[in-house]
Structure 1
C-alpha cells in the first residue's frame, strides 16, 4: 500500500532502494574515461552512475557528467554572447540612422520623444517605489505557514536518509552542496538539480543562474508538478521573503516528491510503501 501524506518516507524504502530507471543499452563492463567522455547524453551517464558499484568507476562517471554539464554551459554562454553582439550591432546601426534623421531636421520630434520618455520614467519610478515599499512591509503580505511534520519515533533516521538520498542524486551537479533542509535550498538550484536528475530533458540545467531565485523555484516546482504530479506545496513568494527556508517545509516537499517518483516507477524499491 502506498504511504499517505502524513506517513513520511519509511526508512526501509531508502535502505532497499535498488534502481530508478530501466538500464540503458550500454555495456555492463567498466568504461574508461575516454569512452565516458564520448557520451553526450546526461540520462545515459546518470543511469551508469546508478548501476556502478566500483568506487573508481563512479568517480570517472561523475567526472564525465560534470564535464558534460560544463561543456553545455560554455556552449550556451558562447551562443548568448554571439546574440548579444548581434543585438549591439543592430542597436548601433539604428542609433546611427536616428542621428542622420535628426540632422535632416527631426530635432523637434526627438525632443518630444525625450519628454515622453521622462514622463514614463517618472511614472515607472513611482510605481516601483510603491511596490518595493509594500514588499518591505511584512504586514502587507500574508505569511505562509507550512504544515508541521508529523513526529515519529524514527523521524530523525528517516530525515537523515532522505537528506543522504538528495545529496547522492545531486552530487554531480555544479553549484549544489546539500548539507541540510534549509540554507542548502535557498537559491532554488538544489531543487532544480534534484528534479533534473530524474527529468534531464525537461530543461537545461547548465544555464541556470543561482541569483535568479524566483525563476529557479518556479522552474523546479512547475516541472515536478507537470512530470511527476508532485503538488506545489511550497510558496515561491514566501521562499523569496525568507533568507533561509523553513526546513520542515522543504523536508515535507522532498518527501512528497520522493513518493511521487516511487508512484511513477522512477524510483523502484523491494518493498512498497
Structure 2
C-alpha cells in the first residue's frame, strides 16, 4: 500500500493527486490542438493538464499552455514598448525646452541628485536565513523520525525526491522554469512564482515577470503564498539576494511548509499514513 504523510510528518508527495477539478463546462473528451489553442484561460488549461492521463493529450495541453503564456508575455512587452516610446518622445521634447535654460548650477544640482540616488542603498545586517537552516529539525519532522528510527534516513531521502518531482510536475508548463534541485533552480525567484501561480493563477500575471528582478520575484511569491495559502515567509529576501545560490535546506523547508499549507487549504490531496 502506498504511504503518504500525515499533517505532522515530513511531506510525501503524490504528484498527480490534486483537488483541482475541470470546470463543468469543459468537454470531458479529448480536445484537439485547435480547441486547446482557443482557450485563453491559464486555469482551465492547468485543470485539463491535471486531469489528462494520455501522454499525447498532456503534450498538447502543455504546448497550448506554453503558447498562451508566450502570447501574453509578447502582448505585454509590446504594450510596454509603446509606453516607453511615448515616454522617450516626451523626455526628448522636455529636454529640448529645458536645455535652453540649463546653467552650470543646474547641472551640478542634477549630478548631486544622481549621486544621492546611487548611495541610498546600504548593506543589510546578518539575517534569519541561518536561523531557518538551524531550525531544519522541525518538531513535527523530528517526532516522525523518532517514532520510526530505522526508516527515518531512507524515508527522508525519498520524501525529498518526491517533493522535487512534485515541484517539477506543477511548474512544467511554465517557460523559464527548470527545477533540478532545491538550490540553484530557485535562485532568481521565478520557480517560486510559477509554483504559487499554478495554484493561484489570478493572483498575478506570470508572463510579465523578469528573471533579472530577483527581489520583486521573491517578494511576489512569498507575499502571495502568505496571503492566499497562509504560508509563513520562512525565507528572508535580503539573504537570498546576497547568495549566488540559496541554501537547499532552507528552500526545501519552505517548499515543505507551502505544500502543507496547500494540503490544509484543500488544494492538494495526499493520503494519510496508516
Sort the TM-score into its range (normalised by shorter chain). Answer: 0.7 to 0.9
Give the TM-score taking structure 2 as reference length: 0.77
Contact 2:129 2:235 in 1 (8 A): no
Structure 1 Cα separation of the partners of residues 147 and 233 of structure 2:
12
Counterpart for residue 134 of structure 1? 135
Counterpart Cα distance in 1 of 2:136 and 2:263: 39
CA contact 2:167–2:179 (8 Å) conserved in 1: yes
CA contact (8 A) 2:42 2:68 kept: yes
1:95–1:198 distance in 2 versus 1, CA, 3 Å: same
In the superposition, relative to structure 1, how do residues 85 and 55 fare at CA in structure 2: closer, same or farther (>3 Å)? same
Q: Per-residue deviation at 1:60?
A: 0.3
Question: Aligned-pair RMSD on alpha carbons?
Answer: 8.0
Deviations 1:216-243 (A, max 9, x none): 1111101100110000001111111111
1:147–1:166 CA distance, 2 compared to 1 (3 A):
farther
Q: Displacement, 1:92?
A: 1.4
Q: Distance in 1 between matches of 2:90 and 2:144?
A: 46
Cα-to-partner distance string for 1:129-169 (whole Å, 9 max, x where unaligned)? 99999999999999999999996540111111000000000
Deviation at 1:249, TM superposition (A): 0.7
Paired residue secondary structure (2:188): coil
Give the TM-score normalised by the residue count of structure 1. 0.77
SS at match of 2:255: helix
Cα displacement (A) at 1:271 = 3.6
Change beyond 3 A, Cα 1:17–1:135? closer
Distance change (3 Å), C-alpha of 1:238 and 1:201: same
Q: Does 1:162 align with 2:163?
A: yes
- Mapped to 1, the partners of 2:273 and 2:137 lie a distance apart of 47
**Distance 1:120-1:39 versus aligned 2 partners, 3 A rule:** closer
Structure index of larger Rg? 1
**CA separation of 1:96 and 1:21: change in aligned 2, threshold 3 A:** same
Alignment CA distance shift 1:268-1:22 (3 Å): farther
For residue 95 of structure 1, report the CA deviation from its aligned partner: 1.7
The total of aligned residue pairs comes to 273
Pick closer, same or farther for the CA change 1:115–1:50 going to 2, 3 Å.
closer
CA distance 1:21–1:258, change in 2 (3 Å): farther
Change (3 A) 1:225 1:144: farther
Q: Quick check: 263-272 or 84-93, which moved more?
A: 263-272
CA drift of 1:244 comes to 1.0
Out of 166-175 and 18-27, give the one that drifted further: 18-27
Partners of 1:9 and 1:255 within 8 A in 2:
no
